[in-house]
Structure 1
Amino acid sequence: MLALPSPCYAETRKMWHQQEIRLPGVARGFHLITERVEAALPELARCRVGLLHLQLQHTSASLTLNENADPDVRHDLDAFLRRLVPGDLPYFRHVLEGPDDMPAHVIASLLGTQLTLAVRDGRLALGTWQGLWLGEHRDHGGPRRLIATLQGEG
Structure 2
Amino acid sequence: MRQAHGSLTIGTRGQGLVEITREVATWLDEQRIVNGLLTVFCRHTSASLTINENAAPAVRRDLERYFSTLAPESRSYEHDDEGPDDMPAHLKTALTDVSLSIPVQDGRMVLGTWQGMYLFEHRTAPHRRTLALHVIGE
Q: Does 1:17 align with 2:4?
A: yes
Q: Does 1:33 align with 2:20?
A: yes
Q: Indicate the residue corresponding to 2:118 in structure 1.
A: 133
Q: Does 1:72 align with 2:69?
A: no
Q: Does 1:88 align with 2:81?
A: no
Note the C-alpha offset of 1:141: 4.3
CA RMSD in angstroms, aligned pairs only:
1.2
SS in 2 for 1:135: strand
What CA deviation, in whole Å up to 9, does each residue of 1:69-112 have, x standing for no partner?
1111000000011011111162x111111110110000001001
SS in 2 for 1:76: helix
Larger radius of gyration: 1
Distance 1:29 1:77 in 2: 9
Q: Indicate the residue corresponding to 1:9 in structure 2.
A: none
Q: What fraction of aligned residue pairs are identical, expressed as a percent?
A: 42
Aligned residue pairs, count: 138
Q: Indicate the residue corresponding to 1:100 in structure 2.
A: 85
Q: TM-score, normalised by structure 1?
A: 0.85
Q: Conserved in 2, the CA contact under 8 Å of 1:31 and 1:74? A: no
Q: Which stretches in structure 2 are left out of the alignment for 5+ residues?
A: none
Q: Indicate the residue corresponding to 1:53 in structure 2.
A: 39
Q: Which stretches in structure 1 are left out of the alignment for 5+ residues?
A: 1-13
Distance 1:26 1:146 in 2: 17
Distance 1:89 1:20 in 2: 35
Distance 1:128 1:42 in 2: 19
